[in-house]
Amino acid sequence: MDKNKVVIDIETKKAFSDIEGRHKMHELGISFVGLYSFSQDKYFGFFEKDFPVLEKILVKDKPEIIGYNTLGFDNPILDYYLKGAEVKKLPQLDIMKEVYEVLGFRLKLDSLAQATLGEGKSADGLQAIQFYRTGKYKELAEYCLQDVKITKEIYEYGARHDKVLYRGGGELREAPVSWGDDEKIADIINHGLKEHEQMQFEYLDVDADGAGKKRNVTLEPQTIKEGKLTGFNNDTQENETIIVNRILNIKKTGNRFAHQGALI
């Protein structure tokens, strides 16, 4: 992956009902900016007093900006505060825009996160404004950085699967996307099947209500069919089947096997 990328999300001091119109969007103000740096694998938070530091980072690194509705919301306000950074001229990937161009309708970040990751936002934007107005700055930072985290993980999922997930008509559906240069999950699995490579999967178990719980499962892959992977689990000494769409990441253990299931 090209590491010169950051995920950005802003929280505002005011709501749209507090200003005269979108043409004066800068009047919303910024109370906090959350950022994840792929090059440092680290999350950062910036209150207004820290904006000169943020501006210097963006001017120096000129990273690709990844976000959710950044083109229509975050960037115009950031440009007002960080004039030297010229945020709108930086490389951009707006996940909301990418998904809209595929589906023809907009999805909320929370809806996409719930379907793709099994988790969602911790609150909403109006609650974040209340955090700012009541001096709950710790809660404000935590809320914003949670949005950054789920945006990052949706981006990573899309880069690894060439799709993201959403719910429509009471069922889980796929929205094809094309971003990032990560090795694809399906390609890694197929190579592992061919070479008899043991793999550790970061996997998302999802209950009937759509809530997800992550776990690590190590398998010796045997077959992949209709979006499901079956492999031998050395821990349980049984075959286990997992859904490919629910694989968040893969690590190769370095171990090889020779049809282990047939030897038991």
**Model confidence pLDDT, tens digit, residues 145-196:** 999 999 999 999 999 999 999 988 888 899 999 998 889 999 999 999 999 9
The predicted structure's pLDDT at residue 207: 84
The predicted structure's pLDDT at residue 259: 53
The predicted structure's pLDDT at residue 56: 96
Long-range pairs of 90-94 with CB within 8 A, sequence gap ≥ 24 = 90/58, 90/62, 90/63, 90/64, 90/65, 91/62, 91/63, 91/64, 91/65, 92/64, 92/65, 93/64, 93/65, 93/66, 93/67, 93/155, 93/179, 94/67, 94/68, 94/69, 94/70
**Model confidence pLDDT, tens digit, residues 211-235:** 889 999 999 999 999 999 999 998 8
H or E element at residue 115? helix 109-117
Domains of the chain in sequence order? 5-166 (3.30.420.10), 185-263 (2.30.30.100)
The predicted structure's pLDDT at residue 261: 47
For residue 75, what are the CA distances in angstroms to 12, 120, 185, 206?
A: 12, 23, 32, 34
Whole-prediction pTM: 0.92
The predicted structure's pLDDT at residue 246: 95
Residue spans of the chain under pLDDT 70: 1, 122-123, 258-264
